[in-house]
Amino acid sequence: MELRQLTYFEAVVRCGGFTRAAEDLLVAQPAISAQVRRLESELGVALLTRTTRRVALTEAGELVLARARRVLAEVAAARDEAAQVAQVVRGAVAVGTTGVLGGFDLPAVLAGFARRHPGVTLSLRTGLVDALTDDLVAGALDLVLGPIHPELPPGTAATPLAPDRLVLLTPPGREGGDLADLDGQPFVCLPSGSGLRDVLDGLAARLGVDLPVRFEASTPDGVRDLVAAGLGVALLAGSAVDRPGPTVGVHEVVPATAHPPFGVLHRTPMSPAARALHLAMIGAGAP
């Protein structure tokens, strides 16, 4: 089965006959007739009933037509996206990222994009998700990589790339436990303005306990280092402790608490250059 056969078949139905389909597609009528007959032969069923005046769909033809139109629509969308990417020859894309990338290889994605589009200027900044989101809304950033929270700012959209989980980190050899049992215990966390700090503060309020942040670190790796040194316990995205680092205890959070998925946040609409990089990030995905 060829795309051309589906195109000719759909045109015959849409135009109401082989002659009009040939005029619409600027193709000789015998060629259209031959391809439709070949399609019927490959499927082993008649798709059209033919008379001297008109053609009509058979029951099988109605089913094939619906699928053919879906296939042709997907092909048209793919061509449009490819054309948009091909038109990206210059521009600038500013990317913001949090410290939690999981298995997403951002340097490789940026390097590959730069090779394909040397006329596009890329910039990258790392920070906390709240500040990065504010800059995205203000137009200072085009894309933000990090946890995708349920409530998105107006004028933005998000594409989740990979799920994540929340875990409890303890110094080596120390057991985990219910967060309510950690009342008053020193915590290590990212600074105020981070999604993780909001989660910790929300849990403390919901459980009616004190989960005091005695030590702050600017990155997830810094949080892990402080916990490994025995200075406190911490909540952290599971993807942040799946990579190599100092030994810590990793436990399920009790009560179970969801962590937002990792993904790409962007303004709408996007510039052609930002859209092209967005597509490259989606293509790279995350394990």
Q: Pick the last residue of a domain from 54, 86, 118.
A: 86
Q: Pick the last residue of a domain from 39, 68, 86.
A: 86
Answer whether 13's CB lies under 8 Å from 64's CB: no
Instruction: Verify that 151 and 271 share a domain, yes or no.
Output: yes
Residue 97: strand pairing partners: 126, 145
Instruction: Verify that 132 and 149 share a domain, yes or no.
Output: yes
Return the structure tokens found at 200: 């910790």
Instruction: Verify that 29 and 41 share a domain, yes or no.
Output: yes
CATH classification at residue 157: 3.40.190.10
Query: Residue 60 is which amino acid?
Result: A
Answer whether 143's CB lies under 8 Å from 264's CB: yes
Q: Can you give the residue range of the structural domain that contains 54?
A: 3-86
Answer whether 121's CB lies under 8 Å from 92's CB: yes
Instruction: Verify that 117 and 44 share a domain, yes or no.
Output: no
Query: Residue 32 is which amino acid?
Result: I
Instruction: Verify that 245 and 125 share a domain, yes or no.
Output: no
Instruction: Verify that 238 and 269 share a domain, yes or no.
Output: no
Instruction: Verify that 59 and 78 share a domain, yes or no.
Output: yes
What does pTM read for this prediction?
0.66
Supply the pLDDT for residue 87: 66
Encode the chain (287 residues) as per-residue pLDDT tens digits. 889 999 999 999 999 889 898 998 889 999 999 999 999 999 999 999 987 678 899 999 999 999 999 999 998 888 877 766 666 667 899 999 988 787 789 999 999 999 988 989 999 999 988 899 999 999 999 999 999 988 899 999 999 998 899 999 999 999 888 999 999 999 999 998 888 999 999 999 999 999 999 999 989 999 999 999 999 999 999 988 888 889 999 999 999 888 889 999 999 999 989 999 999 999 887 44
Instruction: Verify that 67 and 9 share a domain, yes or no.
Output: yes
> How many domains in the chain?
3
- What is the chain's alpha carbon radius of gyration, rounded to the nearest angstrom? 28
Instruction: Verify that 190 and 50 share a domain, yes or no.
Output: no
